[in-house]
Copies of this chain bind each other. A is one copy, B any other.
C-alpha cells in the first residue's frame, strides 16, 4: 500500500468545505483507492465486472436447490443481458465480461447481439466431487489461477481501473464453505449458510457434506493442494484475478461469499493481496463475514443480499466513484468566503 498517497488524500479531504470527517467511510474509501493505485488523484473511469463461471462436482451430492444445468443457462442470461449482474453493471456504467472456466453444459451463444462476451477459458468440464476424491489435479488448479491472472492482466492492459469479482456455478456456496472452513480452521456448522435457499434437513445435509469433504482431505495442507482437492475452478480463477489486481495496483472489488473465497485463497497464498481489495457488501452467508474479518475488510453495503454474480459489487461501484469525485471536485473550506 502507498501510505503517502492515502495520507495525502486524507489531508486533502480534511481541507474540503465540510466538517472534519463528516463524509464518513467515503473518505477512507477514497484514501484506500489512492493507496492501491499509488496516486493522489485516482479515478475509476473503466470498471469491469468479471464473472467467472464453472461447475462443481460436489453439486452431485445434492447440496443445491438448483440442478447443474442452470450454470450454463445463467451464462446465456449474462450474455443476453437479462441476469441481475448484467442489469446492475449497466446501471453502474461498468463493462461486464464473463469467463467460462469449466461449465458442464456451456450454452450455444450467438456472438452478435450479445450484451456481454463469454470468454472460453475452460480448464475442464467442471470439477470432480470433492467428497469422493480431489476436485481437480494440482496442475489444473494452477492452470485455473493462471487463467484468472491472465484474464485480469488483459483487462488491465485494456484500461480497466477496477475489477469487480463475480461468479456463477451451482454448488459454489458448498465449495466456498469447504475452502473457508479449511483455510480459517472454522467449524462448518458456523460457516455454512442457506446458499440459494436451503433450510431444515437440506441445510443439515449441506453441513454434513462439508464436514465429510474436510475429513476426507484433512491431511492436505499446502494451499495449492487445498484449492485443488476442494475446488472450484472459478474460485481458483478469482484468486488469480485478486493476485493480478494486487500486482498491478488495481482495486479488486469483492462481491459475496464465493468471490471472497477466491480472495481468501489469494490472501492465503500472498497476504499482501488483501491490500488491493475493497469489500463491496456483506452477504447473508455467515461465512462471508468471517472471511472479511480475517482479511481486515469492512463492507460498504449491507442489503441482505445473497445472489452472487457480482451483484453486490456492482452496486458499490457508484459509491467508489462518488468518493473519488468528491476528492477531485469538492472545493476547500479556504475557498468558502470567495463564494465558489
Contact = CB atoms under 8 A, between A and B. Distances in A.
Interface stretch (A53-61, A128-136, A297-305): A297-305
Interface in A144-195: 195
B305 A23 contact: yes
Interface stretch (A13-21, A236-244, A259-267, A286-294): A13-21
B80 A340 contact: yes
Interface in A190-207: 195-197
A70 interface: yes
A48 interface: no
Contacts of A336: 70, 73-74, 77
Interface residues of A, number: 57
A19 B331 contact: no
Interface in A12-59: 16-20, 22-26
B80 A22 contact: no
Contacts of A84: 16-18, 23, 326, 330
A311 interface: yes
A89 to B, nearest CB: 10
A315 interface: yes
A189 to B, nearest CB: 22
Contact of A26 (B22, B24, B303): B303
A80 B337 CA distance: 13
A319 interface: yes
Interface in A72-119: 73-74, 76-77, 80-84, 87-88, 90-92, 107-108
A28 to B, nearest CB: 9
A304 B24 contact: yes
Contact of A25 (B19, B74, B304): B304
A329 interface: yes
B329 A82 contact: yes
Query: Which of A84, A306, A329 neighbours the largest number of chain B CB atoms within 10 Å of its CB?
Result: A84
Given A73-B337, A318-B318, 11 more contacts: A16-B84, A18-B307, A19-B196, A23-B84, A24-B303, A24-B306, A77-B340, A82-B330, A88-B322, A107-B339, A315-B319
20 contacts: A17-B83, A18-B84, A18-B307, A19-B196, A22-B196, A23-B305, A23-B311, A24-B305, A24-B306, A25-B303, A25-B304, A26-B305, A77-B340, A80-B339, A82-B335, A87-B330, A91-B321, A92-B318, A300-B303, A301-B301
